[in-house]
Amino acid sequence: MGERLLLRKTTHSKQILGDKGMEGTVTLEAWPLGADTRQKPLYTVKATGTDGQIVDFSLFAVSRGLDETDWWSVYKLGTGQHLFDTYVPLLSFSISRETLTTTRYVGLEVPGDDTKDARLKQPKVIAVLTYASEDRVIREWLLTCDDPKRAQLLRSFADVTHKLTMSESLALTLAFRENFPSPPNPVDLVIPVQGDDLDVAHAKLPSQFHLSVWHR
């Protein structure tokens, strides 16, 4: 969708003294540039959350963490279509060393106990890794561990910090570090970017860890 848009973002929040967490909603409405905002918008995105930010003039990321866990829902700015969720800050990078115009995005969805997808409740599941453009999800990968107890630990936000980084050589690192007072016990997965995809075949994974193509 190439037309220029007029956007209106509205946030509402409520917090009761003495209670943990808060209530909040974020709404994004879009009209063609110059339109009367009293007319029906082209689309409306409404989600529970604390705030929303435009990313690279192509995505809208809503911060959904109302309680103890930070997470984000990512939408196409042109249409309002939901693309994916991520439980680490959205990672963006260019896949071309000559130009910064080919931007790609990576997110990590760590399923909670209330996930509606029964497949993500399997004890060996850790997370879903998403590789996307501004228009679509290009591919998703399911991360599992043969040791169910270790997988359960690495899903825990109370016990483990999750982080995504991209090197100058276009190698994605997914890092897990146990939180204090436990020792860090680092777990790092390094996945190169080849062409316009994650090169999982040449990924460096710790023993017992696996990445397989995931379909919603």
pLDDT tier at 1, thresholds 50, 70, 90: very low
- Determine contact, residues 149/127, Cβ cutoff 8 Å: no
CA dist 42 and 32 (Å) reads 8
Domain C-terminal end among 80, 109, 129: 80
Q: Tell me how many domains the chain contains.
A: 2
Asked if residue 202 and residue 103 are part of one domain, the reply reads: yes
Provide the residue range defining the domain that includes 60.
Answer: 1-80
Asked if residue 57 and residue 104 are part of one domain, the reply reads: no
Q: What is the pLDDT of residue 214?
A: 97
Is the peptide bond between 111 and the residue preceding it cis, with omega within 30 degrees of 0? Answer: no
Tell me: the pLDDT tens digits for 75-118?
A: 999 999 999 999 999 999 998 765 556 899 999 999 988 899 99
Residue 188, token pair as written in the block: 């790092």
Asked if residue 155 and residue 132 are part of one domain, the reply reads: yes
- Determine contact, residues 212/149, Cβ cutoff 8 Å: no
Domain C-terminal end among 38, 63, 80: 80
Asked if residue 93 and residue 73 are part of one domain, the reply reads: no
Asked if residue 117 and residue 206 are part of one domain, the reply reads: yes
Percent of the chain scoring above 90 in pLDDT? 83
Tell me: the pLDDT tens digits for 157-184?
A: 999 999 999 999 999 999 999 999 999 9
Give Cβ neighbours of residue 88 (< 8 Å, ≥ 6 apart). Answer: 107, 108, 162, 163, 164
CA dist 25 and 14 (Å) reads 9
Domain C-terminal end among 24, 56, 80: 80
- For the whole model, what pTM was predicted? 0.91
CA dist 7 and 46 (Å) reads 13
Asked if residue 57 and residue 40 are part of one domain, the reply reads: yes
Residue 216, token pair as written in the block: 């919603």
Q: What is the pLDDT of residue 23?
A: 85
Asked if residue 131 and residue 76 are part of one domain, the reply reads: no
